């Protein structure tokens, strides 16, 4: 009898791309994919650890899966699995925990588990290393010092190449119009509030030639838009010596893909060269998702961010100066913001609020209330902010985001823009997004789904 498998994914688009890749692997092994609410022989949950709520939700889903199918094998992977292995192992029904380093072998190990060839838990090895070592050069002359530094660079290159072997290639499938392509994983920043470097390891990537092959595979499925995603996407090239711009130029040549979006990129990694190239007439859309986190230099420094508000505003200004032209679609800016970081007073919060309202004026604000993460520097900081205050600040920023979004849509009225039609609404309409991420609707027409149509907004 064909075994059934169900999936549940929490967290970021990277997790969704990885889950989709696992799904394709299990289908090749002959398993039948069913909804996660159905009875299955295997449940795979891809977890998130960005907030305490994310971890609680993962635990609840594991328990629900076990209630639905008590005899099923429950496989747990993702960031929560990497950081809280022992905690997850104690939950009834969990058969295997797969950490970051074992992701490329997840399908194989699961199949062995099902055939009783391997019934033990996967060993999880942490990937993250907090600091890059520097050679002691105090007692060396200049020639010896140069040789010592070169030897360290060679050693680091070998380590990065070894780590890249453990990176799971991934892209999402199943949608008719858009795919998320994972180009990079891990992060070297170690921001004070974040556990991602511990959960996903150091920044690393596959070579461009491999990513082009994946983009070609996506195109072969009839998908016309790719969203480039990663943990620190703009840091692409750490393990191959290539650059992010090299990647963009190579992907731009893939036949069949008509549109690209960059899911998220740090402000200090958006160079003028990248912006100029995108604006020169490429397949990359006027859509930028950029993490700000806070609009106050004191808190940015405390959080360990790699920029200040002046640099952030300069990047936004430059993009607009190059890409915002009269009679053409305005650039969409989505901005990540954290509220309630330790030490965020009412005044410091208002700095963020007014910086967004008066200086940046994004089309959308993606808002996260700060969640204390064990093991991070921020968790030990004084002046933790009360949850009720965080909730109030989130509400204020949500209202600001709604107002700024309405303004952005108003500014684009009368502009000619291309829409990729995606789905059917319950009222009989189909919807889609413009290049600058404005959602529009029209009466449903089967032949239009997956097609790009130019229209006046």
* Average pLDDT score over the chain: 89
Q: Token digits for 177?
A: 């119009």
Measured between alpha carbons, how far is 421 from 453 in angstroms, rounded to an integer?
A: 8
Average pLDDT over residues 288-309: 97
Residue 448 has pLDDT above 70, yes or no: yes
pLDDT for position 142: 53
**pLDDT, tens digit, for every residue of 340-392?**
999 999 999 999 999 999 999 999 999 999 999 999 999 999 999 999 999 99
Cβ atoms of 341 and 378 closer than 8 Å:
yes
**Strand order across the beta sheet in which 73-78 lies:** 32-33, 4-9, 42-47, 73-78, 94-97
User: Using 50, 70 and 90 to split pLDDT, how confident is the model at 160?
Assistant: very low
Kind of pairing between the strands at 4-9 and 42-47: parallel
Q: 12-21, 75-84, 118-127, 410-419: which has the minimum mean pLDDT?
A: 118-127
Q: Does residue 93 come out as left (phi exceeding 0), alpha (psi in the -120 to 50 range) or beta?
A: left
Average pLDDT over residues 79-85: 94
Q: Does residue 292 come out as left (phi exceeding 0), alpha (psi in the -120 to 50 range) or beta?
A: alpha
pLDDT for position 125: 40
User: Using 50, 70 and 90 to split pLDDT, how confident is the model at 151?
Assistant: low
Report residue 259: phi and psi, to 5°. Answer: -140, 145
Q: 68-82, 115-129, 165-179, 305-319: which has the minimum mean pLDDT?
A: 115-129
**Strand order across the beta sheet in which 416-424 lies:** 439-443, 429-434, 416-424, 452-456
Q: DSSP secondary-structure letter at 34?
A: -
Average pLDDT over residues 433-442: 95
- Cα–Cα distances in Å, from 214 out to 146, 210, 307? 39, 6, 33
Average pLDDT over residues 139-156: 51
In DSSP terms, 180 is beta-bridged to: 227
User: Using 50, 70 and 90 to split pLDDT, how confident is the model at 159?
Assistant: very low
Residue 152 has pLDDT above 50, yes or no: no
431 or 423, higher pLDDT: 431
pLDDT for position 166: 67
Cβ atoms of 411 and 325 closer than 8 Å:
no
Residue of 101, 105, 104, 110 whose CA lies nearest to 73: 110
What is the value of pTM for the model shown?
0.86
pLDDT for position 134: 41
- Cα–Cα distances in Å, from 68 out to 9, 31, 92, 135, 355? 17, 19, 13, 56, 49
The Cβ-side half-sphere exposure at 138, using a 13 Å CA radius, reads 1
**pLDDT, tens digit, for every residue of 315-347?**
999 999 999 988 899 999 999 999 999 999 999
pLDDT for position 425: 72
pLDDT for position 177: 86
User: Using 50, 70 and 90 to split pLDDT, how confident is the model at 150?
Assistant: low
E strand spans, 119-209:
178-182, 184-185, 204-205
Q: 122-136, 216-230, 331-345: which has the minimum mean pLDDT?
A: 122-136
pLDDT for position 156: 42
Q: Token digits for 397?
A: 């920023």
User: Using 50, 70 and 90 to split pLDDT, how confident is the model at 265?
Assistant: very high
């Amino acid at each position: 009898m064909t075994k059934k498998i169900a999936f549940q994914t929490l967290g970021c688009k990277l997790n969704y791309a990885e889950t989709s890749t696992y799904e394709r692997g299990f289908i090749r092994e002959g398993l039948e994919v069913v909804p996660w609410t159905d009875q299955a022989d295997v449940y795979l949950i891809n977890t998130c650890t960005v907030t305490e709520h994310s971890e609680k939700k993962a635990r609840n889903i594991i328990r629900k899966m076990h209630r639905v199918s008590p005899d099923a094998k429950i496989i747990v992977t993702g960031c929560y699995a990497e950081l809280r292995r022992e905690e997850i192992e104690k939950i009834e029904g969990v058969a295997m925990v797969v950490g970051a380093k074992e992701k490329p072998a997840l399908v194989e190990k699961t199949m062995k588990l099902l055939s009783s060839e391997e019934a033990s838990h996967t060993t999880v090895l942490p990937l993250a290393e907090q600091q890059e070592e520097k050679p002691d050069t105090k007692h060396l002359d200049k020639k010896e010092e140069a040789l010592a530094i070169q030897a360290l660079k060679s050693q680091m290159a070998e380590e990065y190449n070894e780590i890249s072997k453990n990176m799971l290639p991934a892209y999402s499938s199943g949608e008719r119009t858009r795919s998320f392509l994972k180009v990079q994983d891990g992060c070297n920043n170690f921001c004070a509030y974040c556990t991602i470097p511990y959960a996903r390891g150091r920044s690393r990537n596959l070579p461009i030639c491999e990513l082009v092959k994946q983009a070609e595979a996506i195109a072969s499925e009839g998908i016309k838009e790719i969203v480039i995603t990663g943990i620190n996407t703009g840091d692409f090239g750490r393990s191959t010596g290539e650059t992010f711009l090299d990647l963009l130029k190579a992907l731009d040549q893939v036949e069949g893909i008509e549109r690209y979006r960059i899911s998220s990129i740090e402000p200090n990694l958006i160079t003028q060269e990248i912006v100029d190239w995108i604006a020169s007439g490429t397949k990359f859309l006027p859509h930028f998702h950029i993490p700000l986190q806070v609009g106050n230099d004191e808190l940015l420094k405390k959080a360990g961010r790699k920029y200040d508000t002046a640099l952030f505003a300069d990047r936004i200004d430059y993009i607009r100066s190059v890409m915002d032209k009269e009679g053409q679609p305005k650039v969409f800016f989505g901005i990540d913001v954290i509220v309630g970081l330790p030490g965020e007073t009412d005044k410091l919060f208002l700095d963020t609020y007014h910086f967004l309202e008066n200086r940046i004026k994004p089309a959308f604000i993606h808002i996260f209330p700060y969640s204390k993460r064990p093991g991070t520097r921020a968790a030990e900081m004084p002046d933790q902010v009360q949850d009720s205050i965080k909730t109030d600040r989130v509400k204020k920023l949500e209202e600001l985001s709604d107002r700024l979004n309405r303004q952005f849509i108003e500014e684009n009225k009368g502009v000619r823009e291309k829409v990729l039609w995606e789905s059917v609404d319950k009222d009989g309409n189909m919807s889609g997004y413009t290049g600058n991420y404005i959602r529009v609707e029209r009466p449903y027409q089967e032949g239009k789904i997956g097609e790009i149509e130019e229209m006046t907004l």
